[in-house]
């Protein structure tokens, strides 16, 4: 899992049919995370720009949002209310 901040969104008018209706957000990992590059994640929890979120990757991302047969590599699976020691 990665903890990151939502810094933007992606609009894709043409996409895989399994992704129609899905919202995509750009996540910047927190400094304490090993990953330093931003990623695009599907959002099924209603996160917004500026919020701190939990991101699952790989098969956990697909299973976590009930889209096991979809081309998803990262999914926002939670919005963090308080995270002591992550900054």
- Over residues 57-80, the pLDDT tens digits come to 988 888 777 777 788 889 999 999
For residue 63, the 8-state DSSP code is H
Between CA 76 and CA 25 the distance in angstroms is 9
60 by Cβ neighbours in 10 Å (0-12 / 13-18 / 19+) ranks as middle
- Over residues 1-48, the pLDDT tens digits come to 899 999 999 999 898 888 888 899 999 998 777 777 899 999 989 999
Domains of the chain: 2-79 (2.40.50.220)
Length of the chain: 87
* Among the ranges given (3-7, 53-57, 81-85), the one the predictor scored with the smallest mean pLDDT: 81-85
Provide the whole-model pTM: 0.85
Between CA 5 and CA 47 the distance in angstroms is 10
């Amino acid at each position: 899992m990665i903890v990151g901040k939502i810094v933007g969104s992606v609009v894709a008018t043409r996409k895989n049919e399994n992704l129609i209706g899905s919202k995509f957000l750009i996540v910047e990992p927190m400094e304490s995370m090993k990953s330093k590059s931003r990623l695009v994640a599907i959002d099924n929890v209603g996160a917004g720009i500026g919020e701190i979120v939990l991101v699952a990757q790989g098969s956990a991302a697909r299973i976590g949002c009930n889209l096991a047969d979809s081309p998803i590599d990262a999914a926002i699976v939670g919005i963090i209310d308080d995270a002591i020691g992550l900054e």
